[in-house]
Structure 1
């Protein structure tokens, strides 16, 4: 299957579908704009929900057995939340299960202070995902305590600003063609309620016109656009100020470019006016040339345009049941994506069905915590990346989740291909070179491609590579042919060396220390590293 080719297109379709529904003018007695805005203003609630994935395969498609098995596994995949408790916008717990084939895996998730803790059947300990915005040890960004503090606060600020962000979109998007409201009697958590049913149907063929209508409305909404920019400023300006300060302090030479930004970050009015003028000018050009630009977009391999792909075979149907305060109490939706070229990638269609309901809205609710006294597994590695190998390493090899992720979906399978230069790399840290028959590869680049952590000890001139999947810890010393793997000394073909600030080591050694295999293609002078 051409997974990468279609993942981007599907993502764009999904984003467009969701954004369109974020808009809409009043329908009957229902203020649709208020309904959508209220999705982000609810402070607390309890609820339940489910999402089911259905994949329809093309029997005539020529796909690998692995791809066929993946489709079979994911068809019918279901995420069910039986107990959701939201204590505040940034405090939430959810209990439920993941279901696929004949397997059901219970889980318990908690969000608190922008930190996720997940207890799932098969995990050795609760898994913790910290603030993903934090700067990792391997980052090239300058780090100061003030900057780190601002980064950690970004998530909280963004959550608090969501009502302002959403109101900008809800007030400017036009209605889809099919939208209606009527009274409905429904049951929510066993309670009979009289609500308004908002029914929406959206076809892919409508998206282009709705997006153009949105951009046209934004041009007319000077006050709304400025308020939107101001809200963005409030969230990101403090972070950007510290970023500029840290950059200037660490810069070598002229800092004029960085210094020129600071007046805008220090003056909100100046920043808003400058950005508004820039956006307005560019939006005018976009709207004026919208149709022409759309027609000039490149077509896919079969000669189909964007308009051809966004047809009535792509659809979203949604029913929202809202109360007198325009708060959604119950919902159902069906997203259908019919894919062209099914014979090439194996899928005819993707269908996502979801439902949910909430109660105790804006009433006192207490989340269900996860017991972490027995320790946790930090999923985010030391470079600030979330890696599949770190996740799989935290699981019991006998568990269903481990078997699904590693054995069935092969999420830890890695493949790295590097073309070898006959001389020392002209792109330090990326390109390998041949040292009298020994291929030398950039240690950090290759190790991180295989999901390992890399640490540099300048005092000892040592590189430490920690592979979470195998558990192997490898220590290499610059200009030494001796290396340590889990405390056992081994001899390298060539000594580790530094080339223009990057550490290079023999490819076979680094690969085999992480249970990977090395291959060589003579015609292209390419070294390949594969780990199953």
Structure 2
């Protein structure tokens, strides 16, 4: 299994890289380098995106390894085609966008919507009764000082532009690439365009990688210019962060010699860029020396042959903007159970016009970075909806929790776990306001079930109704959820879990069905 994941991670990296950056030398009078750079100037637009993933089974007898690979595809084994049809895409600026569409699984279409803002990403899926929310700033929220997020975005954009300026001129063309005239329907209108068609068979990928690395290694001036621009884009932000962090200790603090040394290095642009230049150049040389080994690698040869290929069609309007792109990627590993076909088709219009994105509400949203997000999603699904019925059909309405024996405390024939551990395992809220010297209180995320266990009493109270149990909660040491032990079976059953012993795994197995 690990080997299969390794192969397809390699495919994803190489082919997606070639997809974005292939074909940058002039072809038939069209400067593809400038065409690719022009896409960076598209700050706003409207459009649509259609993406499909299709499993094409093989009629050949397959090996056990190939069968395992097919099994890993999950839904694709029984539902051979998945589609994402985003029929309304609006990009207001580089940080603000919205989209609406359908996720199609076989004959089922699930409406979805998403919005992106400088601070939040919000996703709505029909059948999940609460929005899914991602905090864009979450990686920085735990810092003890505030960051200038606008400055972060500017630094990121500056680094991206510098990288494009360096990479694009060095990218090789595939052997098969041509340009012709074509007519397409764009936003309900017929448009005359120029069509760039390129094909990349798997057998050509190694050569393209070698050309790319060689070109990058030889482009000394391009690398120096990139590092100079990257330094100018990132260093103001880095220095501000260091200054802001230092200010937290007060303006009258003693100078830190190590901090002063680091600042001296960072403020020396020549030193920083020359160090990075030497490191990257050496990296190119190492990669080029090791690249021939790939041709002897079994995993590589099983994937990158003539039956694996990618085709790209780019459509340019009179302003040399890419207004439509069609991509097909066929992955056909040797001796596999079949092939995987991935297609994307994108159209954009109203480029750099006034476009307003539709922002979705995040009220009562499920924060996806919350450790309990998985439990919240399961509770928020309408199991009678098409999505709920689909998940139920595949057994995805079931949650199984395995409790390792070394985390379980057994006493008088009853298994216990700390209140903290059981709350994490079952996705429960441990009531911190309760007096842990007298009782421990749990609620589920919907607050529909409240469970209280008085300490040193063989009682459990569920939504106000007391019930006798063989052994109740107790404490070892100070009043704390880490030292308060609760009976596993009593708590789990109160929240709808079935409790059993798994003899094969030698673990307690808790199972809950969502309906």
Q: Which bracket does the TM-score occupy, shorter chain normalised?
A: 0.7 to 0.9
Per-residue CA distance 1:415-438 (angstroms, 9 max, x = gap): 4545434xxxxxxxxxx2545465
How does the TM-score come out when normalised to structure 1? 0.74
Instruction: Work out which of the two has the higher radius of gyration on C-alpha atoms and give 1 or 2.
Output: 2
**Cα contact 2:177–2:197 (8 A) shared by 1:** yes
**Cα contact 1:433–1:441 (8 A) shared by 2:** yes
**Cα contact 2:96–2:118 (8 A) shared by 1:** yes
Query: For residue 138 of structure 2, what is the aligned residue in structure 1?
Result: 133
Paired residues, number: 492
In 1, Cα distance between the equivalents of 2:415 and 2:134? Answer: 37
Deviation of 1:199 after TM superposition, in Å, equals 0.8
Query: For residue 312 of structure 1, what is the aligned residue in structure 2?
Result: 306
Deviation of 1:91 after TM superposition, in Å, equals 1.7
Task: Mark the runs of 5 or more structure 2 residues left unpaired by the alignment.
Answer: 250-255
Q: Are 1:177 and 2:162 matched, yes or no?
A: no
Query: For residue 99 of structure 1, what is the aligned residue in structure 2?
Result: 104
Per-residue CA distance 1:41-69 (angstroms, 9 max, x = gap): 31111112211221124576768999898
In 1, Cα distance between the equivalents of 2:171 and 2:187? Answer: 33
Q: Are 1:111 and 2:116 matched, yes or no?
A: yes
Deviation of 1:89 after TM superposition, in Å, equals 1.4
In 2, Cα distance between the equivalents of 1:493 and 1:296? Answer: 64
Deviation of 1:320 after TM superposition, in Å, equals 0.3
In 1, Cα distance between the equivalents of 2:457 and 2:260? Answer: 44
Query: For residue 288 of structure 1, what is the aligned residue in structure 2?
Result: 289
Of the three residues 303, 319, 326, the one matched with 2:320 is 326
3-state SS of 1:209 partner? helix
> What's the RMSD between the two structures over aligned residues?
4.6
Deviation of 1:401 after TM superposition, in Å, equals 2.1
When structure 1 is superposed on structure 2, of 435-444 and 352-361 the one drifting more is 435-444
Of the three residues 350, 363, 367, the one matched with 2:357 is 367
Quick one: structure 1 residues 150 and 261, their matched pair in 2 at CA, closer, same or farther if it must change by over 3 Å? Answer: farther
3-state SS of 2:387 partner? helix
In 1, Cα distance between the equivalents of 2:102 and 2:373? Answer: 22
When structure 1 is superposed on structure 2, of 45-54 and 259-268 the one drifting more is 259-268
In 2, Cα distance between the equivalents of 1:249 and 1:367? Answer: 38
3-state SS of 2:208 partner? helix
Per-residue CA distance 1:312-342 (angstroms, 9 max, x = gap): 2221111000134432111212111124564
Query: For residue 376 of structure 1, what is the aligned residue in structure 2?
Result: 363
Deviation of 1:214 after TM superposition, in Å, equals 2.3
Q: Are 1:420 and 2:418 matched, yes or no?
A: no
Quick one: structure 1 residues 339 and 483, their matched pair in 2 at CA, closer, same or farther if it must change by over 3 Å? Answer: farther
**Cα contact 2:22–2:174 (8 A) shared by 1:** no
**Cα contact 2:84–2:101 (8 A) shared by 1:** yes
When structure 1 is superposed on structure 2, of 106-115 and 196-205 the one drifting more is 106-115
Q: Are 1:390 and 2:376 matched, yes or no?
A: yes
Quick one: structure 1 residues 194 and 411, their matched pair in 2 at CA, closer, same or farther if it must change by over 3 Å? Answer: same
**Cα contact 2:303–2:332 (8 A) shared by 1:** no
Per-residue CA distance 1:58-93 (angstroms, 9 max, x = gap): 576768999898236642322112222222112222
Of the three residues 186, 189, 203, the one matched with 2:187 is 189
When structure 1 is superposed on structure 2, of 361-370 and 156-165 the one drifting more is 156-165
In 2, Cα distance between the equivalents of 1:85 and 1:451? Answer: 37
3-state SS of 2:81 partner? coil
Deviation of 1:31 after TM superposition, in Å, equals 2.3
In 2, Cα distance between the equivalents of 1:473 and 1:395? Answer: 21
In 2, Cα distance between the equivalents of 1:528 and 1:5? Answer: 30
In 2, Cα distance between the equivalents of 1:525 and 1:191? Answer: 65
Of the three residues 65, 70, 88, the one matched with 1:83 is 88
Per-residue CA distance 1:89-120 (angstroms, 9 max, x = gap): 12222222222232222233222224223344
In 2, Cα distance between the equivalents of 1:172 and 1:28? Answer: 19
In 2, Cα distance between the equivalents of 1:228 and 1:129? Answer: 32
Quick one: structure 1 residues 163 and 464, their matched pair in 2 at CA, closer, same or farther if it must change by over 3 Å? Answer: farther
Query: For residue 400 of structure 1, what is the aligned residue in structure 2?
Result: 386
Query: For residue 43 of structure 1, what is the aligned residue in structure 2?
Result: 43
How does the TM-score come out when normalised to structure 2? 0.77
Quick one: structure 1 residues 337 and 49, their matched pair in 2 at CA, closer, same or farther if it must change by over 3 Å? Answer: same
